[in-house]
Structure 1
Amino acid sequence: MPYAKAKDGTMLYYKDWGRGEPVVLMHGWPLTGDTFDDLAIKLVEGGKRCIIPDRRGFGRSDQPWNGHDYDTYADDVAAILEDAKISEPIALVGFSMGGGEVARFLSKQGKGRVSAAVLASSVVPKVAQSDDYPDGVPQSTLDDITKQMKEDRAGFLQTFIKQFYGVGFLERPVSQGVLDSGFQQGMMSGARPFYAAAAAWAGTDFRPDLPAFEGVPTLILHGTSDKNVPIEGTGRKVAEALPHATFIEYDGSPHGIFETDKERFCKDVVGFLTQDSRGTTADRSASAIPLTN
């Protein structure tokens, strides 16, 4: 699979699968592009070309000290598109912190480069609580998470991955293999990128990027029991800010809906990106909430 060279020389690994209209799939923290293998297969079967990067510092990409911020991440996407010789508009799918890349790429590159956007369990518009954003996660909670990961990254990650997939004393929505895979992917990252990327997704305010979504077909997917990126301060807030979007709540689902709700997740995303009239013919169950002006 190919590598693209970023502006600062960082080598960025990406998969390039299929032929057709391009879809770029941006993974969450602290995983890799392998997050999207099942979805990408479905999209390729539906006539799409999938570009699936490993973010700088993660997976098979280089692990530089610098560049772990959303302006650089958006520039990295542009570098990958140039390497893949893609100049036409792309669909962007962002899971968790990858949603921030969707927002920042849109605001930096312009909506002329984006045909559609999907935000899944996304950190947009803001994670951290502040005086003007009371629905966010308290800074003390984020500071405690940072402390835990720096004291014992491997131990923290084992616990984090269980919460990521909603695993509890009685609940076990994914297999041990899925948990092991998540742990292995997370430990592939360097410690510096691991910490710096977490600070980026927890501390970046994407509210100024939201106007860039105007006129761009957008799908928002979020689990109502997401403890990693709670829906109240993210999915529901961005849906309010984007009244043209299609918003689908996954009742009772945790953060990692690409695994816990795999069949439905793939059907929703593929349906949205492959229909001529996006957002009107994608599958909508009773928990689908299309928002209108």
Structure 2
Amino acid sequence: MPTVSAKDGTRLHYSDTGSGPPVVFLNVAMLDSRMWDRQVGALAERGLRCVTYDRRGGGRSDRPEEGYDYDTLADDLAALLDHLELTGVTLVGYAVGGGEAVRYLTRHGAHRVAGLVLAASATPVLFRTEGNPHGIVPAEFEPVFAAMRADLPAFLEELSVPFFGGPTATAQNPGSSDELRSWVARVAMDTSPHAAEALYRMLLGEDFRAELPLVGLPTLVVHGDADVGSPFALCGPPTAALVPDSSLVVYEGAAHGLFATHAERFSDDLLSFVGRDAGAGGGEA
């Protein structure tokens, strides 16, 4: 797996699969690029170039003590896109990755980007303010951080249930299973605990309400209405309402992990958004 060096020298591992219009994926806070395996397989097979990478602090990337803020993460993404000399990119930002993608666009511009997907995105703002009265009180998360530090495997095992909408498959979450829950807990163990806590503290304190209206790109907002990780009422419709050229697709009954529980539908929606049909051949990125 190749690497690219960020501005501060942090080495980021990435994967580049397929050929055609490029799609670049940004991960959930505690998962690395393996979360995208099913989407990469489906999209690359249909003539798209799929680029995934492990965020600093996770997977096979370096684990520095610093740099877990949206500006630095946006700069990391810029280093990757510049290194690969990509243009016409569709950015797919998931959960915390949604904010990364938006900050990249407002910090570095859209000259390399053609479209944006915000999936289960933790935008526009999670914390409670006068204008966001139903938001989260960050201090209430201190017991969560304490539980992470005390027994991370137990914490991840417990978190995996609401992440996928329950312990077993249902009609609305057909992909949920004990095997999937165990898999996501194992992958999450490959993220530095320090990085994980720093990322969660970052997203709990950021406000994208002024930045989302500046996104001048076609944008697909995908959200499950049973998502408690990026709560639907706080994140899905408000994000779509703030992005000028956006459409909102709601997955009824889907929880935070719809990339896995609804993998086929999500891949199809990505393909439709990028504008590739079953018979499309690959072009040059």
Q: Is the 8 A contact 1:111 1:212 kept in 2?
A: no
Please give the per-residue CA displacement for 1:40-93, whole angstroms capped at 9, x wherever unaligned: 12221222111101100011111110000110111001111222232x231100
1:275 is displaced (CA, Å) by 4.6
Q: 1:35 to 1:170 in 2, by over 3 A?
A: closer
Q: Is the 8 A contact 2:15 2:53 kept in 1?
A: yes
Q: Which residue of 1 aligns with 2:194?
A: 192
| Matches of 2:61 and 2:187, distance apart in 1 | 12
Q: Which residue of 2 aligns with 1:175?
A: 177
1:124 aligns with 2:126: no
Give the total of aligned pairs: 274
Alignment gaps of 5+ in structure 2: 278-285
Please give the per-residue CA displacement for 1:16-62, whole angstroms capped at 9, x wherever unaligned: 11112211100102111111111112221222111101100011111
- Greater Cα offset, 140-149 or 91-100: 140-149
1:148 is displaced (CA, Å) by 2.0
TM normalised by structure 1 equals 0.88
1:242 is displaced (CA, Å) by 2.1
| Matches of 1:153 and 1:208, distance apart in 2 | 35
Written as runs of structure 1 = structure 2, the 5 A alignment for 1:93-242 is 93-168=92-167, 173-214=175-216, 216-242=217-243
Q: Is the 8 A contact 2:40 2:50 kept in 1?
A: yes
| Matches of 1:115 and 1:93, distance apart in 2 | 11
Q: Which residue of 2 aligns with 1:25?
A: 25
Which amino acid is 1:157 matched to?
L
Structure number with higher relative contact order (C-alpha < 8 Å, ≥ 6 residues apart): 2
1:94 is displaced (CA, Å) by 0.7
| Matches of 2:189 and 2:169, distance apart in 1 | 27
| Matches of 1:117 and 1:151, distance apart in 2 | 37
Q: Is the 8 A contact 1:110 1:212 kept in 2?
A: no
1:170 is displaced (CA, Å) by 8.4
1:132 is displaced (CA, Å) by 2.5
1:256 is displaced (CA, Å) by 0.5
Q: Is the 8 A contact 1:257 1:265 kept in 2?
A: yes
Q: Which residue of 2 aligns with 1:41?
A: 41
| Matches of 1:36 and 1:226, distance apart in 2 | 19
Q: 1:139 to 1:167 in 2, by over 3 A?
A: same
Name the SS of the counterpart of 2:132 in structure 1.
coil
Q: Is the 8 A contact 1:135 1:232 kept in 2?
A: no
Q: What CA RMSD, in Å, does the superposition of the two structures yield over aligned residues?
A: 1.8
Q: Which residue of 1 aligns with 2:11?
A: 11
Q: Is the 8 A contact 2:224 2:258 kept in 1?
A: yes
| Matches of 2:184 and 2:167, distance apart in 1 | 16
Which amino acid is 1:192 matched to?
H
Which amino acid is 1:134 matched to?
P
TM normalised by structure 2 equals 0.91
Which amino acid is 2:31 matched to?
L
